[in-house]
A and B are shown apart, each in its own frame.
Chain A
Amino acid sequence: MPAVLIENVHKSFGDLEVLKGVSVTVESGQVVALIGRSGSGKSTLLRCINGLEAINSGRIEVAGHVVDQDQKRLRELRKDVGIVFQSYNLFPHLTVGQNIMLSPRITQNVPTAQAEKLAKDVLAQVGLSEKFDSYPDNLSGGQQQRVAIARSLAMQPKVMLFDEVTSALDPELTGEVLLVMEKLAKDGMTMLLVTHEMAFARNVASTTIFMHQGKIWESGASKEVFANPQTPEMLNFVSAGAK
């Protein structure tokens, strides 16, 4: 069974149709990059996968859960599917450790001592062990984003979604975040990422999907897709540097 199965998904905001029949299959352990211009629907597609946006028609299955708007089923799904946002979205009133431990403790009933160990483990994974007691405001953007990744990892997800996670960062800070993601990919995490980092898509993602006007315009093995764009839109997008 694929880790993510998206079948003929349509999604509109009012009169604006942003997804016009999108189908994607992601196998377990695969890393898939979604690229395309702003407004091509890639972020919306990602947000549909964990139910932050409701789809109008079609079908999405992820980690064995069917995505619909039933709140109880959505919570079960979200325990298995982590998401990291462009704007980090850490909880500013909680320390780094509390940010990470909150959900395991209250949604999965992990005992405090064990949650603490879990939090320290995932923080070590993103290289921020010493920040356990810091508040988000005292961290750099790159550090905050790594904490956000750690917070998702503490849920022990089967699939991770990344929504333009380096777009809000200064260029010198994107590297540390991408490095963490690359390590995750190598460890076999199933990942879907919306990104403007073309080098990362080409080198780390096994598959790249180019979206255009709410449709999948072109997709395939990353190296192939970047080396031989089949459509003028993809060719334009890639040659424009698309940063």
Chain B
Amino acid sequence: MTTFGWPEAYFILRGASWTIALTVIAFVIGGLIGGVFAIMRLSRSKLLRRIAAGYILVIQSIPVLMVLFMSYYGLSAAGIELPPFLAASASLAIYASAYLAEIWRGSIESVPRQQWEASASLALTTPQQYRYIILPQAIRISLPPTVGFLVQLVKNTSIVQVVGFVDLMRAGMLVNNATYQAFQIFTLVGAIYFAICFPLSRLSRHLEKVMNASRSH
């Protein structure tokens, strides 16, 4: 039986780097998809609004674990074999897209209606209104909840272990299986999650304060 030492700690740190990589990929791709769905939710076209609302409703109503099972085992049963990393990234991106779409839709909607009217009255097109007037204000509003969601995403990446992907959590479990030094190992794993999430939480809180202070009316 091996004991918990530097090689094991290094193994866990490598797992942590995969956790971060997964989070970044899911956030960036999920953000791009989520941005499109947020705009679709606010479109003039009823069809686009319905499609986006339906997508968000379905994804938010099922466990992200199920999305992962579908994209890994489900697709593999249908003859499409995704590597665990791809299945994990795709599932987390889909999950993130639905939540980010709702956060951003809310942020866009909280820009006062009069800003739309004033910019329309200055002959701006809808894309120009979004680009110059609405999004700059919506992005500021959306920063605190977006960073808050990022913290959730970091922690939720731990589900990818079920398809055999070695993230931070899975690395800790593997080392534990070999050494049975659960206390040391999971203290380290917990500390790493904390080290990633705590600064993000603080950032979110800080942004919220800055936003409130600058929103004098």
Contact = CB atoms under 8 A, between A and B. Distances in A.
Chain B: interface size category: 20 to 34
A106 B132 contact: yes
Interface stretch (B4-12, B48-56, B133-141): B133-141
B117 A75 contact: no
A85 B118 contact: yes
Interface stretch (B70-78, B121-129, B148-156, B172-180): B121-129
Interface in B18-42: none
A236 interface: no
Contact of A93 (B120, B122, B125, B140): B140
A107 interface: yes
Interface in A85-110: 85, 87, 89-93, 102-103, 106-107
A160 B123 CA distance: 14
Contact of A78 (B114, B122, B140): B122
Contacts, number: 56
Contacts of B115: 89, 91
B114 A85 contact: yes
Nearest to A92: B137
A151 B120 contact: no
A83 B120 CA distance: 10
A90 B114 CA distance: 9
Contact of A83 (B121, B124, B128, B214): B121
A50 interface: yes
Interface in B184-217: 214, 216-217
A91 B120 contact: no
Contact of B124 (A82, A85, A106): A106
Given A93-B136, A93-B140, A151 B114 contact: no
Contacts of A75: 123-125
Contacts of A71: 125-126
A87 B136 contact: no
A115 to B, nearest CB: 13
Interface string A122-157: 000000000000000100000000000001100100
Given A52-B121, A102-B122, A155-B123, 4 more contacts: A75-B125, A89-B115, A106-B124, A107-B123
10 contacts: A74-B120, A75-B125, A83-B121, A89-B114, A91-B132, A102-B124, A103-B124, A107-B124, A107-B128, A152-B122
Interface of B: 114-115, 117-126, 128, 132-133, 136-137, 140, 214, 216-217
